[in-house]
Amino acid sequence: MVSFNAILQKFNQKGEKTGWTYFDIPAPIAQEIKPNTRTSFRVKGTLDGFPIKQIALVPMGEGDFIMAVNATMRKGIRKKEGATIAVVLEEDTSELEISSDLMACLEIEEKALDFFNSLTKGHQVYFSKWIESAKTIETRTKRITMTVTGLSMGLGYPEMIRHFKKKEL
């Protein structure tokens, strides 16, 4: 485990990362967590005592990485951009978890399952995390329906979100 303090930052204009809250992981610290790695990898640990797992570190060049701090983490640590946080991290080699409800529904829709299985594990997890983050059964059901329909149409996660957003307008 590696412990250090970091300052929460926010991207203003940075392509797909625009608006992200994140913190830097300098190359020497990243090398302590996972030596000789310059590609994305997953970590677990705590942010100000708030437990995290299966969180990707994103390479930013020259051996430095960043970690995005999503809304759940921000609520858990109760801090915003500019705040200092205590970080404890280690590599997370656990298998990425996929929603059992999603998998049960995909078993019924062969075309959707085939497309889902053609996606990288990371892209599969986008769908799963979105479904699992639903706070009500109604929202969860809607998200599973959208996912199975989108996958049947051959849509990845961002394409599916855009497709259904257009339908709501």
3-state SS string for 56-111: EEEEEECCEEEEECCHHHHHHHCCCCCCEEEEEEEECCCCCCCCHHHHHHHHHCHH
In which domain, by residue range, is 156 found? Answer: 100-168
CA atoms within 13 A on the CB side of 114: 6
**Number of structural domains found in the chain:** 2
CATH number reported for the structural domain that contains residue 44 in this entry: 2.40.30.100
Question: What value, to the nearest 5°, has the Cα angle with vertex 16 and ends 49 and 168?
Answer: 100
Task: Give mean pLDDT in consecutive 10-residue pieces for the chain, a chain of 169 residues.
Answer: 95 70 95 93 95 92 91 92 96 89 95 95 89 92 96 93 80
Q: What integer pLDDT is reported at residue 15 of this predicted model?
A: 60
| Domain end call among 72, 91, 110 | 91
One domain, residues 119 and 63: no
Q: What integer pLDDT is reported at residue 116 of this predicted model?
A: 96
| Domain end call among 60, 91, 122 | 91
Q: What integer pLDDT is reported at residue 20 of this predicted model?
A: 83
Q: What integer pLDDT is reported at residue 124 of this predicted model?
A: 93
One domain, residues 8 and 86: yes
One domain, residues 122 and 154: yes
Q: What integer pLDDT is reported at residue 95 of this predicted model?
A: 84
| Domain end call among 29, 56, 91 | 91
Q: What is the pTM of this model?
A: 0.66
Q: What integer pLDDT is reported at residue 61 of this predicted model?
A: 83
Q: What integer pLDDT is reported at residue 14 of this predicted model?
A: 59
AA identity, residue 35: P
One domain, residues 72 and 135: no
Q: What tokens were used for 119? A: 């996606």
Tokens 């829709």 correspond to what residue? Answer: 109
Q: What integer pLDDT is reported at residue 43 of this predicted model?
A: 96
One domain, residues 60 and 123: no
Q: What integer pLDDT is reported at residue 82 of this predicted model?
A: 94
Q: What integer pLDDT is reported at residue 168 of this predicted model?
A: 66
